[in-house]
Amino acid sequence: MLPIITVSQFIEQINGIISGEFIVEGEVSQYKVSQGKWIFFDLKDEKASISCFATLFGLRTPLEDGMKIRALGFPKIHDKSGRFSLTVQQVELVGEGSLKKAYLLLKEKLTKEGLFALERKREIPKMPSRIGVIASRDSAAWGDFWRILNNRWQGVEIELYHTSVQGESAVGEIVEAFKYFNTEAKEVDVLVMIRGGGSLEDLAAFNSEEVVRAVYGSKTPVVCGVGHERDETLADYAADVRASTPSNAAERVVPSRLDILNELDYSVDHISEKIQHKITMLRRQVEQQFYFVVSRCEAPLQAGRNLMEKFKNILVVLENSVRTKHEFLLSSERLFRNIDPKRVLERGYSLVRKRSGKLVRRSKDVDIGEEIVIELAEDSLVSRVVENRGVNQDQGVLFKPTEAETA
């Protein structure tokens, strides 16, 4: 006899049997969004249909009826409703038609949000010193970019962040590259994102909402050189500058040496012509003013010439006077040197002073026993008067030293 189980137990067992992840391909129908966060749609083919459920936050790919997709999810019977559905975690668009529809839907959405507005576009520096590049290091796009950049302008520091440019991991790696240049890398003047051309499916990463928002949110101006000239991605619209190819991206971010040299030559020639023209005009103006002054002021000019001549004569007189004064000063200097007391002392003479510093000129200026200072050429002696002959015999003063050393 079969065991009797409850409904919830039955659903639990069924969910256990059908557990696991599946990739289901089909066409979207009955697509709708509930309460701004829940997504419901049917996935069908020619013979069958299955209900699907997803969250708006988890499912970033825009969908609409008629799109062909591959949905990754797990089947489940819901407890309350008993409804069987596929809970979708990830969606991959299938076919150019679905990719084009998703492209147009996302473009319309992001345009309304202002991500492609022209007024927010930033200019890139004319001569950047450091460039960040997001590309696959093994791609021809990177090789073309590097070659043309070095041919046009050298001395630029380049940092390459290697990423996949298509496939499942491309979106995450590109977004991570933008995060790196915005927060961790040494500051760059411009950020370049490049890859070669391809189908809409090949370029899907550059039409993803995550990459477009990363381009929009970059703190550094972005140049997008994805695909060939006919290719168009949403990343192009979000970038500050759109280059038609990776090679064109190199041409957009650095100038040509020849162009700069030609521009400098032109500027030098243009400036030279303007200066020469200005000099000619000023010369004519000066000549006109000069002739006017000469014609109107001949008499004052002659008076000025006469005054200048007188001034020259006065200068000659002054020079002679200065020369005479200078010679007089030199003679006076020689005389003062000859009568300098120091020089007299060097010839063997001396000066006698009292302790007070007063000069002794006669013997009667000192008393017996008084100390006197005898100043010599290089030093002095301190002595005491022991006999004053000048008082009785008019023969000068006799003294003897009181200190052996010089004062």
338 assigned to some structural domain: no
Residues 262 and 203 both lie in one domain: no
| Residues 212 and 129 occupy one common structural domain | yes
* Residue 372 placed within a domain: yes
Is 131 within the bounds of a domain? Answer: yes
pTM: 0.53
Count CB-CB contacts under 10 A for residue 187: 10
Indicate whether 356 belongs to any domain: yes
Q: Structurally, how many domains does the chain consist of?
A: 4
24/122 same-domain check:
no
Same domain, 130 and 248: yes
What's the pLDDT score for residue 401?
A: 58
CB contact at 8 A, 253 and 192: yes
CA 374 to chain centre: 80
Same domain, 265 and 233: no
Q: Which of 93, 109, 129 is the last residue of a domain?
A: 93
Contact between 224 and 167 under an 8 Å Cβ cutoff? The reply is: no
Q: Are residues 237 and 262 in the same domain?
A: no
Are 248 and 198 part of one and the same domain? yes
Q: Is residue 395 part of a domain?
A: yes
- The model's pLDDT over 331-378, given as tens digits with 9 standing for 90+, comes to 877 777 777 777 777 777 788 888 888 888 888 888 888 888 888 877
Which of 31-40, 110-119, 190-199, 395-404 is least confident?
A: 395-404
Identify whether residues 16 and 60 lie together within a single domain: yes
pLDDT at 36 over 90: no
Residues 275 and 353 in one domain: no
Q: Is the CB of residue 137 less than 8 Å from the CB of residue 239?
A: no
The domain of 38 spans 7-93
250-271 pLDDT, tens digit each: 999 999 888 887 888 888 888 8
Asked if 181 contacts 215 with a C-beta cutoff of 8 angstroms, the reply is no
User: What CATH number is associated with residue 207?
Assistant: 3.40.50.2300
Q: Indicate whether 306 belongs to any domain.
A: no
Cα separations (Å) of 218 from 122, 136, 178, 182, 243?
A: 11, 20, 7, 7, 17
Report H helices in 224-376.
Answer: 234-238, 246-253, 257-296, 298-338, 341-346
In a domain, 307, yes or no: no
Domain boundary among 278, 298, 318: 298
CA distances in angstroms from 365 to 302, 370, 392, 398, 403, listed in the order given: 76, 10, 14, 13, 22
Are 220 and 149 found together in one domain? Answer: yes
Together in a domain, 195 and 126: yes
Q: Is residue 321 part of a domain?
A: no
